[in-house]
């Protein structure tokens, strides 16, 4: 059984800024991992993980 919950976040201005900073850091890390993967022509999670750490 799969349950789904839909909710609305109501962050304070400081929390909003922290969420945006987290999203930007995540996107930068994902972009880096994609760049490494394409440069090395590796497309499985484990080898990409090893190369990025």
Q: From residue 8, how far is each of 12, 14, 41, 46 by CA, in Å?
A: 13, 17, 40, 34
The pLDDT of residue 39: 95
For residue 6, tell me if it sits in a domain: no
Structural domains counted in the chain: 1
pLDDT per position as a tens digit, 1-53: 899 999 999 999 999 999 999 999 999 999 999 999 999 999 999 999 999 98
The residue range of the domain holding 47 is 13-52
CA pair distance 11, 7, nearest whole angstrom: 12
Residue 29, both tokens: 């890390």
pTM of the model: 0.74
As a whole number of angstroms, the distance between CA 1 and CA 12 comes to: 34
Residue 1: inside a domain: no
Q: What is the pLDDT of residue 18?
A: 98
Q: What is the pLDDT of residue 53?
A: 87
């Amino acid at each position: 059984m799969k349950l789904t919950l839909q909710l609305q976040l109501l962050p304070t201005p400081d929390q909003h800024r922290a969420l945006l900073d987290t999203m930007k850091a995540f996107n930068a890390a994902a972009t880096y991992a994609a760049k490494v993967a394409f440069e090395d022509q590796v497309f499985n999670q484990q080898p990409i993980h090893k190369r990025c750490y």
